[in-house]
Amino acid sequence: MHRPWTNCALAVTKWTALLVAFALQLAGCIVNPVPTPGSSASTANPATGTDAGSTKDNTGGSAGTDAAGTPGGDGTSNDAGGLADLPVPTYPQVSVTETPIDPAVADPQASPLQDSHRAYFSAQAPSSGRLVVVVPGPGKKSTDYSVFAKNVCRMGHRVLVLAAGNPDVVSTCKEDGNCMEFMRQELVDGQDHSPKLQFKTADGLEQRLQHALLWLQDNATTQGFGGFLSGGQPDWAQLVIVGHGDSAGTAMMVGAKHTVARVALVAGPGDHDSQGAAAWLATHETQSADIIGFSSTNDAHWDWISQAWTALGLGGSKDRVDVDAVPAPYWNAHQLTAKTMTAATAEELILDGSTPGDPGNPQYLQAWWALVGQ
């Protein structure tokens, strides 16, 4: 027998399925393109239809952007008009107080260094409740990051640039990922993990940071650095850890051990072995959503860096945004790239005297603000 209601039911079911599919597709177009861990490794580049993997394109743009320069985190292109809906942060110029701290004075148990920690604070900027901790790259000094620090203070963050003295872990270990892991563990906690280092506990990043904050609490009483201590220890949940160059790996080791507010990786990490990214990068207490990278695609270690970002759960090539081609806030992506033009690619991204532009308005200012977050 013919039942007219059967056809009606089928029609309703069909249209319901179409509406659900449309809703899911729409949701995929408007969500933050930052992927879940491993979601876009070895996937087709929406711009070219080919798998870009961990390599850069030949145009200097982000390998994972469509013709409008927008990333398609789920294989679809975001509507170019949507970028205008994302808020672009602006922060006024402020007066900044810079306070040097002798590491051996802050902690008499620590080995002396040929450098000082430097704390930056502005009473003119409303407090964000965040402390940005900078880990200098090998061969760099704390004073090399003053332009970055002062511009981050405009956001209301306090900044502490740790004293230099960090070794080049990747060069030391060559292609031994386990060696890199053990060296970075010792650099962070000062315990005996690696035969390549002769550290004591007081020389580890954790204790140097702790004693710098204790010193500031006692000697810069109006600046509020003591608020980043809990029970006399760093309150990791309030900290943004920024690592530069090889020290991006050390900053990431902090994020692997502790749940921090954010880990910002500038020109790194390059930890790898003959098979690709070092295995230790895949496991970390800090969630992938709270990790962000910024690198030049001209960096000699770009392939290592891009593989490390994927291992950290930041996605693949199509999830990258070229900060020179896409305006801030860069679709809130967690992989930011630039095509620097000099041989000193890592230095140009962040260092005083190397980064282009006026100190009050450097070329990568918006990228810095995106790195440390609000």
- DSSP secondary structure string for all residues of 252-268: HHHHHHS--SEEEEES-
- With a cut of 80, say whether residue 65 has pLDDT above it: no
Is the CB of residue 205 less than 8 Å from the CB of residue 226? no
pLDDT band at residue 152 using 50, 70 and 90 as cut-offs: very high
pLDDT band at 224 (very low <50, low <70, confident <90, very high): very high
User: Does some domain include residue 365?
Assistant: yes
pTM equals 0.80
The verdict on residue 168 lying in a domain is yes
Distance in angstroms (rounded) separating the CA atoms of residues 306 and 184: 19
Determine what percent of the chain falls in helix, strand and coil, rounding each to the nearest 5. 35, 15, 45
User: What average pLDDT does the chain have?
Assistant: 82
The pLDDT tens digits of the residues spanning 7-59 come to 444 344 444 443 433 343 333 332 233 443 333 333 323 222 233 333 333 22
Show the domain range for 219. 97-372
pLDDT for the residue numbered 85: 64
- 148 in a domain, yes or no? yes
In a domain, 232, yes or no: yes
For CA atoms 176, 180, 181, 186, the dihedral sign is positive
In a domain, 74, yes or no: no
Q: Report yes or no on 40 lying in a domain.
A: no
> Which residue blocks in the chain are alpha helix, DSSP H?
4-30, 103-106, 146-153, 169-173, 177-189, 205-219, 247-257, 302-311, 345-348, 365-372
Q: How many domains does the chain have?
A: 1
- In which band, very low, low, confident or very high, does the pLDDT at 218 lie, cut at 50, 70 and 90? very high
CATH code for the domain in which residue 315 is found: 3.40.50.1820
Task: Provide the pLDDT for residue 354.
Answer: 93
Residue 345: the pLDDT is 87
Domain-located, residue 11: no
110: Cα within 13 Å, side-chain hemisphere: 28
Coil, helix or strand at residue 131: strand
Give the C-alpha separation, 184 to 175, whole Å: 15
Residue 44 domain flag: no
How do residues 272-327 score in pLDDT, each as one tens digit? Answer: 999 999 999 999 999 999 999 999 999 999 999 999 999 999 999 999 999 999 99
What pLDDT does 84 receive? 53
102: pLDDT strictly greater than 60: yes
